[in-house]
């Protein structure tokens, strides 16, 4: 009887030892696989060298890192796509249509242009792997001049709070808003991934000292008024004009500015009665689904 009981204990002990060995083996296999996977990951690698202040405001809030970062963009196949300077596109031109105002709509390396101007709206998205990693350098220096002028003319401090946003950052942002407010509402103030002008590296949101930031509270500030009256002199346009969401696809955003150069900016400024890019070129801004 006693011997039998002892044998039972031995069996239980052996069973426990076997279970421990199995567990340890599985753990080792999992860890090894994980380590092997890492070097294979050749998706977009972004190294951000400076992260700016982030803000969370009402419905239109956007949180982003600022403009100084370096990026290596690699395709899934491992071959690098060189998108070049999007302000001076080079490469094979593929015509995809003609606008209602007679402009040719074409793509170079998957980026849509009209009359040499990059278009990023609800109709024309950007390639997922197009990732300049920062604001375009021309845009950055034009913005610096504009903010310097604002400081000199009205004594206000302004800066580009939210500049370049990658496809994946936009994906996180849009998903968060869509989960909170539903897709339909989110679409009125936030772009779906691949459709944000912020991904182009040509647009940014302006904030000012002690003023509501990236929210409708900025609309009636002295700063917003100055920007709407002067941005064109530095090559920027008020992109989402008041009461023209049927053209742009977005609500009025007094803080979102897009670089197009002074020539087109002055035309769109239209002596203070801003014309949208969509109206000027005769293009739509609507999702296909």
User: Binding to Zn ion (CB under 5 A): which residues in 1-40?
Assistant: none
CB 237 within 8 A of CB 260: yes
Q: Which residue is nearest to Zn ion (CB)?
A: 256
The whole-angstrom separation of Cα 79 and Cα 17 is 50
Options 256, 260, 265, 283; binder of Zn ion; rule CB under 5 A: 256
Closer CB to Zn ion, residue 105 or residue 260? Answer: 260
Question: 100: helix, coil or strand?
Answer: coil
Listed residue (207, 229, 234, 231) closest to 273, CA to CA: 229
Binding characters for Zn ion, 178-217, by CB under 5 A (x = yes): ---------------------------x------------
When asked if residue 278 is in the footprint of Zn ion (CB under 5 A), the reply is: no
User: Binding to Zn ion (CB under 5 A): which residues in 64-123?
Assistant: none
DSSP code for 282? T
Q: Maximum Cα–Cα distance for the chain, whole Å?
A: 104
Listed residue (161, 117, 138, 132) closest to 265, CA to CA: 117
Smallest distance from Zn ion to CB 240, Å: 8
Smallest distance from Zn ion to CB 266, Å: 22
Phi-psi group of 98: left, alpha or beta (phi > 0 → left; psi -120 to 50 → alpha; rest → beta): beta
Smallest distance from Zn ion to CB 36, Å: 40
Footprint of Zn ion (CB under 5 A): 205, 256
């Amino acid at each position: 009887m006693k011997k039998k009981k002892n044998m039972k204990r031995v069996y239980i002990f052996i069973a426990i030892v076997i279970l421990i060995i199995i567990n340890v083996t599985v753990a080792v296999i999992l860890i090894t696989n994980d380590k092997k996977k890492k070097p294979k990951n050749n998706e977009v690698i972004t190294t951000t060298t400076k992260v700016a202040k982030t803000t969370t405001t009402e419905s239109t809030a956007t949180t982003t890192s600022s403009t100084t970062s370096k990026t290596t963009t690699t395709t899934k196949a491992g071959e690098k796509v060189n998108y070049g300077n999007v302000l001076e596109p080079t490469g094979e031109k593929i015509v995809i249509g003609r606008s209602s105002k007679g402009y040719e709509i074409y793509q170079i390396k998957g980026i849509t242009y009209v009359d040499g101007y990059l278009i990023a709206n609800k109709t024309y998205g950007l390639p997922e792997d197009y990732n300049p990693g920062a604001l375009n350098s021309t845009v950055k220096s034009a913005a610096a001049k504009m903010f310097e002028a604002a400081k000199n003319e009205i004594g206000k401090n302004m800066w580009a709070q939210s500049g370049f946003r990658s496809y994946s950052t936009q994906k996180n942002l849009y998903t968060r808003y869509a989960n909170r407010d539903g897709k339909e509402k989110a679409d009125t103030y936030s772009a779906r991934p691949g459709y944000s002008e912020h991904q182009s590296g040509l647009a940014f949101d302006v904030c000012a000292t002690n003023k509501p930031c990236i929210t409708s509270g900025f609309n009636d500030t002295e700063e917003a008024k100055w920007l709407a009256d002067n941005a064109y002199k530095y090559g920027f346009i008020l992109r989402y004009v008041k009461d023209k969401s049927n053209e742009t696809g977005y609500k009025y955003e007094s803080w979102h500015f897009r670089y197009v150069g002074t020539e087109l900016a002055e035309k769109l400024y239209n002596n203070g009665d801003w014309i949208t890019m969509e109206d000027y070129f005769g293009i739509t801004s609507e999702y296909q689904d």
